Amino acid sequence: MEQHDEVSIRPATVADAAGIAEVHVRSWQHAYTGIVPDDFLAGLDAARRTPVWAENLRRGPDDHVLTWVAEADHRIVGFATLGPGRDEDAARGDREIYSIYLDPEQWGQGVARELLRTVVAEAGTGTRILLWVLADNERARHFYRRNGFEPDGVEKLAPVGGAELLEVRYRRG
Say what the pTM is. Answer: 0.93
In a domain, 1, yes or no: no
* Whole-number percent of the chain with pLDDT over 90: 93
CATH code, domain carrying 82: 3.40.630.30
What SS3 state is found at 115? helix
Question: What is the per-residue pLDDT across 39-64, written as a single tens digit (0 to 9) for each?
Answer: 999 999 999 999 999 999 999 877 89
Residue 3 has pLDDT above 60, yes or no: no
145 falls within a domain: yes
Separation between Cα atoms, residue 30 and residue 62, nearest integer Å: 32
Tally of domains in the chain: 1
Strand, helix or coil for residue 13: coil
What is the pLDDT of the chain when averaged over all its residues?
Answer: 94
CA 69/CA 72 separation, integer angstroms? 10
Q: How far apart are CA 111 and CA 79, in angstroms?
A: 9
Strand 129-134 and strand 95-102: pairing? parallel
Domain carrying residue 140: 7-172
* pLDDT score at 1: 40
Asked whether residue 49 is domain-assigned, the answer is: yes
15 lies in a domain? yes
pLDDT band at 5 (very low <50, low <70, confident <90, very high): low
Could you tell me which residues are beta bridge partners of residue 95? 84, 129
Is 2 inside a domain boundary? Answer: no
* Confidence class for position 2, pLDDT limits 50, 70, 90: very low
> Is position 107 within any domain?
yes
Please tell me the predicted confidence (pLDDT) of residue 62.
Answer: 78
